[in-house]
Amino acid sequence: MNLSGIISIAGMSGLYKVIAQSKNGLIVESLVDKKRIPAHSTNKVSSLEDVSIYSTGDDVPLKEVFQKIFDMEKGAAAIDHKSADADLRSYFKKAFAEYDEERVYTSDIKKVLMWYNILQKEGMLDKKEEKEEESKPKVKAAADAKAAVKAKSKGTATAKPVKTAGTKVKTQGVRKTGTA
């Protein structure tokens, strides 16, 4: 289950996949209708990797909640997010019994179930992908760390301006203010 690059934009329903970065924000593609739109820097964007759900203990990452729903449904779709509030709460309690009932609102449960159904429909909740993805980031992170160490040892990581002998540096004088 790979949630990297999947975001939610405040004020816009559904989930979006990050396609590219522009100078003013992101270019995203809707997972529902596949339309590409810009997400400006003024939009509040939340990555699903960073979202977690309140529980009676520590906060639980959304990925683990999705996994519990996936296991309960055996890979099928969850209950519709437009169901009655009591039905949604009882369903969520079955799937994720440890959630904090006082701090997790019904609107939060609706969002989680809507997001789960979107990802399930797109086939992004497969367990096979998870095993492959767990090994790849470690290798990539190790390669990135080695590249950073090499760049730093060669002196390319930070470039400093070089002064030449014939240049004059003009300094600005101190301005006095007030009455004399």
Q: What is the mean pLDDT of the chain?
A: 78
pLDDT of residue 125: 81
Q: What's the CA angle centered on 18, arms 17 and 23, to 5 degrees?
A: 155
Residue 122 CA to residue 101 CA, distance in Å, equals 30
Is residue 71's pLDDT more than 80?
Answer: yes
Residue 132 CA to residue 56 CA, distance in Å, equals 31
Query: Confidence class of residue 151 from pLDDT cuts 50, 70 and 90?
Result: very low
Position 5: which residue type?
G
Between 55-64, 71-80, 122-131, 152-161, the lowest mean confidence (pLDDT) is in 152-161
Residue 102, number of CB atoms within 10 A of its CB: 7
Residue 71 CA to residue 94 CA, distance in Å, equals 12
Residue 119, number of CB atoms within 10 A of its CB: 20
Is residue 162's pLDDT more than 80?
Answer: no
Which residue did the predictor score with more confidence, 74 or 29? Answer: 29
> Which CATH number, 2.30.30.730, 3.40.720.10, 3.10.620.30, 3.40.50.150, labels domain 6-48?
2.30.30.730
Q: What's the CA angle centered on 25, arms 129 and 28, to 5 degrees?
A: 40
Between 11-25, 53-67, 125-139, 142-156, the lowest mean confidence (pLDDT) is in 142-156
Contact (CB, 8 A) for 52 and 33: no
Contact (CB, 8 A) for 65 and 100: no
> Which CATH number, 3.30.1490.20, 1.10.10.1650, 1.10.3720.10, 1.10.230.10, labels domain 51-121?
1.10.10.1650
Query: Confidence class of residue 178 from pLDDT cuts 50, 70 and 90?
Result: low
Whether 6-48 shares its CATH topology with 51-121 is answered no
pLDDT digits (tens, 9 = 90+) for 75-88: 888 888 888 999 99
Q: Where are the domains of the chain?
A: 6-48, 51-121
pLDDT of residue 160: 43
Enter the pTM of the model: 0.68
Between 30-34, 113-117, 172-176, the lowest mean confidence (pLDDT) is in 172-176
Is residue 180's pLDDT more than 80?
Answer: no
